[in-house]
Amino acid sequence: MDLLLDPLGFSFFLRALVASTLVGAACAIVGTYVVLRGVAFIGDAIAHAGFPGIVVAYLLGWPLYVGATIAAVGTALAIGVVTRKAGIRQDTAIGVLFAGTFALGVFLFSGISGYVADLFSFLFGNVLAIGPGDLVALVGLGLAVIVVVALLWKELLYATFDPLGAAASGIKVERLELLFLTLVAITIVVSLQAVGIILVVAMLVTPAATAQLLTVRFTRLMLVAAAIGIISAVVGLYISYWLDVASGATIVLVQTALFVIAVFVGPHGLIAQRRYPVLRLAEDELDDAHAKGSAA
C-alpha cells in the first residue's frame, strides 16, 4: 500500500499524475477518430512538426507550449488544405512535410550550444518534470479538447463513417475536418511533455486500437479507449517512479502490453477465433434475442 501512497506525498508526482491521466484520456478520445479514419500518420507528422516550433520558441525566449501550438496547428491546417487542393497523394505530401519540419527542428536545435534539458524532454517526454504553470495550461487545453469532442461527437462520427451522407444532411464536413485536425494538433501539444514527440502517436492510436478488439459499438469503444488511456497512464507513471525510468516510454509500454493481451484474449482476439469459431454466431443470436426482448 505504501508503494502506492508514498509517491503521492510529492507534489511533482501529483502533478505528473493529473497531467498523464488527462493526456491519456484526451489522446484516447481524439485517437478513436484518428484510428477510425486511418490517419495515424497525420498525428505523427503533426507531432514532428511541433519540434521546430518548440526550438524557435526557446530561441526567442517564448513559452515552449506557444511555439509548439503554433507549429502543430499550422501544420495540421496546412495538411487539411494541401491534401484537398494539391494534386499530390496525401501520404506523399505528409511524408515530405513530416521529415522537412523535423529536420528544421534538428537543424536549429543542433545550433544551440550545450545540453538543453528542456528541449530534450520534448523529444522523449518527462511528465515528472512538469511545472505548476505548465500543468495549468495542459489541464485547460486538455479539458477544452474533451469538451469540444463531447459537443461534436455525433457530427464527427457521421462525417467519419459516411462523409457524403453527412455532408448531404447539412453537416459542414470540410469545416469539421479542419476542426478535427486542430483538435489532433492541440492534443499532441498537450501530450508532448508527458510522452514526447516520438512516442505521442502511440498515445493516440494504441488505446483505440485495443478498444477496437474489445467492442463493436462506437460510444463504448471511445469510453473503453479513454479508460485504457487513463489506466495505462497511472500504471505507467507508478512503474516509472519505482524503477526510475523514463515515464513516457513506460506509459506507452503499458498500453502496448494491454494491446497485445487484447489481441490474444479479447472476444474478437486470436484465441477466441481459434477455440470458439462459433462464438461470433452465438453472439449475433444473443444480440437478436436482446433486440427482441427490448422491442417487446
Partner 1 sequence: MALGHNHPDGIDATHAHAHADVWLSDVSAGYGQRVALEHVTLAVEPGSLLAVVGPNGAGKSTMLKLMAGLLTPWTGRIEILGQPAGREARRVAYVPQAELVDWAFPVTVEDVVMMGRFPRLGRIRRPGADDRRAVQSALAEVGMARHLRTQVGRLSGGQRRRVFLARALAAEPDLFLLDEPVTGIDPTTQELLMDLLEAQAERGKTVVATTHDLACAAARFHQVLAVNRTVVAYGPSNLVLDADVLARAYGGHLLVLDGRTVVLDDAHHHDEAAPGERHFHDHDGGR
Binding site for partner 1 (CB under 8 A): 36, 151-152, 154-155, 157-158, 160-162, 164-171, 212, 215-218, 221, 280, 284, 287-288, 290-292, 294-295
Whole-number minimum distance, CB 254 to partner 1, in Å?
23
Whole-number minimum distance, CB 289 to partner 1, in Å?
9
Residue among 167 and 234 whose Cβ is closer to partner 1? 167
Place of cell 475536418: 177
Place of cell 505521442: 200
Residue among 123 and 176 whose Cβ is closer to partner 1? 176
Whole-number minimum distance, CB 160 to partner 1, in Å?
8
Helical spans, DSSP H, in the chain: 2-5, 11-37, 40-60, 64-85, 90-111, 117-124, 132-161, 163-168, 173-212, 218-243, 247-265, 270-275, 279-295
Whole-number minimum distance, CB 270 to partner 1, in Å?
17
Please name the amino acid found at residue 100. G
Please, are residues 202 and 89 in contact by the beta-carbon 8 Å criterion? no
Spatial separation of the C-alpha atoms in residues 71 and 277, rounded to whole Å: 49
Spatial separation of the C-alpha atoms in residues 94 and 113, rounded to whole Å: 31
Whole-number minimum distance, CB 188 to partner 1, in Å?
23
Residue among 166 and 184 whose Cβ is closer to partner 1? 166
The dihedrals phi and psi of 115, each to the nearest 5 degrees, come to -90, 130
Residue among 36 and 239 whose Cβ is closer to partner 1? 36
Residue among 123 and 208 whose Cβ is closer to partner 1? 208
